[in-house]
Amino acid sequence: MTTTKQNHFYSAFDDKTLLVQGELDDVVIHIKKHLGKSENSSILIFSDSTGATIDFNFQGTKQDVLKRLDMFRSPKQKSIPSGPGRPRLGVISREISLLPRHWEWLATQSGGASATLRRLVEEAQKKSSQQVSTKQIQERVYKVMSVLAGDLQGYEEALRALYKKDRKTFFSQIEIWPKDIKKYLKKIGKPIFE
């Protein structure tokens, strides 16, 4: 396992050129300004943490574009729901099923079952967000490579080197690629070759 800080940053490419990097809101607003009144875009937005492309509609005004960002926001950033639990504090009541021995153990914990479960979930989230496997990083790099560099010379050899963790061959194959693509792939794939 490789330890890495999981981020929620995005990178936008206009053809083979890096246009902007940052949080999704900032990236989308920058792209909207870049496009001006044009609503058609060949700009690709990648998640730095997953390599997935984000499909975004830039039609309409800046306010229209900002409204569309809501679908990408986490539940914490959206409006507070009403219902059971403590919605104002972000606590939502839901049903869970546990075996009797689990309920017995929870009953012996200080703070009660809910506090203990929240603490256990927080600890598990912290551990999983800090550990990203080599395979996950390779998949992230592959996703970006297939979109940005799939038609470039040395693509297949670079891809084989990526999965073999062959730093020398990987870097030699991407050396002639456009500088922004090369720099981005090195950045998101860095843990593989360290």
The H-or-E segment that residue 14 falls in is: strand 9-14
- For 150-164, write each residue's pLDDT tens digit: 999 999 999 999 999
Q: What is the pLDDT of residue 134?
A: 87
Q: What is the pLDDT of residue 159?
A: 96
Q: Given strand 17-23, what is the order of strands in its sheet?
A: 17-23, 9-14, 43-47, 53-54
User: Which 3 state secondary structure label does DSSP give 57?
Assistant: coil
Q: What is the pLDDT of residue 170?
A: 96
Q: What is the pLDDT of residue 97?
A: 85
Q: What is the pLDDT of residue 152?
A: 95
Nearest to 174 by CA among 194, 192, 150, 191: 150
With a cut of 50, which residues of the chain have pLDDT below it? 1-6, 77-80
Torsion sign, CA atoms 111, 117, 122, 128 = positive
Q: What is the pLDDT of residue 71?
A: 78
Q: What is the pLDDT of residue 85?
A: 56
Q: What is the pLDDT of residue 166?
A: 95
Q: What is the pLDDT of residue 131?
A: 61
What is the β-pairing status of strands 85-86 and 91-92? antiparallel
Nearest to 184 by CA among 2, 13, 61: 13
Q: What is the pLDDT of residue 3?
A: 41
